[in-house]
């Protein structure tokens, strides 16, 4: 017969939150290790410093903005 355990919902929510953070950290590390990824990050920082970016305020903006350039 299988054994079961009961965990508080808040514990599961915390685990998911921390897992999301770990995934984000790993994705960032992957970009930093890759030469092309690091170059994209540096270019993005320079674009930001120059004010060369657009702000999306809605899902519709996200769909439209890439095609405006």
Tens-place pLDDT, residues 1-50: 789 999 999 999 999 999 999 999 999 888 888 888 888 889 999 999 99
pTM of this structure: 0.48
Whether 61 is in a domain gets the answer yes
Whether 2 is in a domain gets the answer no
Rounded distance between C-alpha atoms, residue 64 and residue 32, angstroms = 29
Whether 20 is in a domain gets the answer yes
Supply the range of the domain harboring residue 44: 9-67
Look at the chain and report how many structural domains it folds into: 1
Whether 52 is in a domain gets the answer yes
Whether 36 is in a domain gets the answer yes
pLDDT of residue 56: 84
Nearest Cα to Cα of residue 68 among 57, 48, 53, 47: 53
């Amino acid at each position: 017969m299988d054994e079961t355990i009961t965990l508080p919902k808040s514990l599961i929510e915390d685990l998911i939150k921390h897992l999301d953070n770990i995934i984000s950290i790993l994705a960032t590390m992957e970009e930093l290790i890759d030469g092309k990824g690091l170059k994209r990050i540096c270019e993005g920082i320079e674009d930001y410093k120059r004010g060369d970016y657009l702000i999306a305020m809605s899902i519709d903006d996200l769909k439209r903005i890439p095609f405006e350039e």
